[in-house]
Amino acid sequence: MNKTPTIITFALFLCAIIASSIIFSLGLTNSEIIDALIAVVTSLGALISATFVIFSYLQTNKAFIEAQRPHLLIQIVKDPKSEVVFILYRNITNNRFSDLTISLIATALNREIDLSYLFREKMTMIGQDSRQRIFSSIEELEKHGLDLQNVASGGNEINLFVNYSYTFNDEIDFVPAQKYRWDTKSESWEIR
């Protein structure tokens, strides 16, 4: 929990104690001291209340803004009848993505192969929108000089990193969505 209001309250109490000691040192009459102390205590209560009201407002506003953040669900599914891979992605909120860019990076034998070209950059995706991209992992990686099955059957690990970025509240947000490993037996990507 944020301790800002507590720190401010403590500082206000210190100010009230200092103000009270100054009031006592001024040589005022008893009724003037009581009036001044009532004013200090009233001011202290008002400032503490204002601190918590403003802090609550800021927290509520922050929570509201965060609730507007879109979220993407990405799944990689292999068609059981072929070597075709479906990348299913869905905006699971009612909020729109701006500048959505999906990144797909395969790693094998100390190499990185960027397959992000399979997706259009800086997409706009409205709420609850669902899309898919179909491709052959074996064919796409062969285009980059990687024989997927031979490398994997040789005991080498092949990973696929799925990430996405988008603009929210005028800031770019990067989300490492999922990591997959190629399974030679099922010839499919499995979640790590």
Q: 66 pairs with which residues across the strands?
A: none
* CA atoms within 13 A of residue 117's CA, in its CB half-sphere: 7
pLDDT at residue 41, rounded to an integer: 94
pLDDT category of residue 1 using cuts at 50, 70 and 90:
low
Helix%, strand%, coil% for the chain, nearest 5: 40, 35, 25
Q: Give the tens place of pLDDT for each residue, 18-42.
A: 999 999 999 889 999 999 999 999 9
Q: Give the tens place of pLDDT for each residue, 125-177.
A: 999 999 999 998 889 999 999 988 888 888 889 999 999 999 998 899 999 98
What values do phi and psi take at 4, rounded to 5? Answer: -55, -50
pTM as predicted: 0.73
Contacts of 61 (CB under 8 A, 6+ apart): none
In terms of Cα–Cα distance, which of 43, 55, 40, 41 is closest to 8?
A: 55
